[in-house]
């Protein structure tokens, strides 16, 4: 059951990142530096869940998810704080009434609760427990996350080059300007 829940959590992270990519490439909303930190946070949390699937469930892997969720959730909270003051505007479009940085904060809060529940009800992991081979469903979740990680690296290289990303990006640095 733990493997299924970790796999579903991976698909959830993948869905979050895929929606962000849709808005980036289909609607032309370039992510800001805080958005980049939030994306990286989800990717690192996903890698920790992949470690659970590949190497066996471990409190250390869940600890990595927890630390990542707290750190990247802080970036989300910072961005919420930047835009909560009346008259400061917001960054990007809203989805179901909330901006992506707010959804990211909700996602990180969900990961914190998820890790807490998994550590409480997961039971002790025997030292001799060997992980079994991945099912096609699990391989799909891992492949989705690895593909999204690679796509994020490429997208941020195109947007920022090898330097810092602009605070309010308006174009891709490494793509020719359209007329």
Geometric angle at alpha carbon 69, from 68 and 70, rounded to 5° = 90
Rounded Cα distance, 43 and 107, in Å: 12
Q: If we measure between CA atoms, which residue out of 136, 104, 113 comes closest to residue 62?
A: 113
Q: What is the pTM of this model?
A: 0.90
Token pair, residue 169, equals 């990006």
Given a cut of 50, whether residue 168 has pLDDT beyond it is yes
pLDDT band at 64 (very low <50, low <70, confident <90, very high): very high
pLDDT (average), residues 20-46:
93
The chain-wide mean pLDDT, for the chain, equals: 90
Name the token pair of 120: 């409480």
Q: What is the largest CA-CA distance in the chain?
A: 62
Note whether 52 and 129 are within 8 A (CB).
no
Q: Which domains does the chain have, with CATH numbers?
A: 2-160 (1.20.1550)
Q: What is the model's pLDDT at position 125?
A: 63
Q: Which of 149, 119, 141 is nearest to 10 (CA)?
A: 141
DSSP notation for 42-60: HHHHHHHHHHHHHH---HH
Q: What is the pLDDT of residue 15?
A: 95
Helices (H), the chain: 2-25, 33-55, 59-84, 100-121, 136-160
């Amino acid at each position: 059951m733990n493997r299924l829940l970790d796999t579903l959590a991976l698909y959830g992270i993948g869905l979050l990142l895929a929606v962000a990519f849709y808005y980036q490439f289909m609607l032309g909303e370039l992510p800001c530096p805080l958005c980049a930190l939030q994306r990286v946070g989800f990717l690192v949390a996903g890698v920790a869940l992949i470690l659970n699937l590949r190497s066996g469930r471990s409190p250390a892997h869940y600890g990595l998810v927890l630390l990542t969720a707290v750190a990247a959730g802080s970036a989300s909270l910072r961005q919420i704080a930047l835009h909560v003051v009346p008259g400061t505007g917001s960054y990007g479009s809203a989805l179901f009434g909330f901006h992506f940085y707010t959804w990211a904060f909700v996602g990180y809060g969900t990961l914190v609760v998820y890790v807490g529940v998994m550590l409480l009800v997961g039971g002790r992991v025997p030292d001799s427990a060997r992980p079994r081979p991945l099912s096609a469903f699990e391989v799909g979740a891992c492949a989705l996350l690895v593909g999204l990680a690679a796509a994020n690296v490429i997208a941020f290289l195109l947007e920022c080059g090898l330097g810092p990303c602009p605070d309010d990006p308006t174009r891709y640095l490494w793509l020719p300007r359209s007329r």
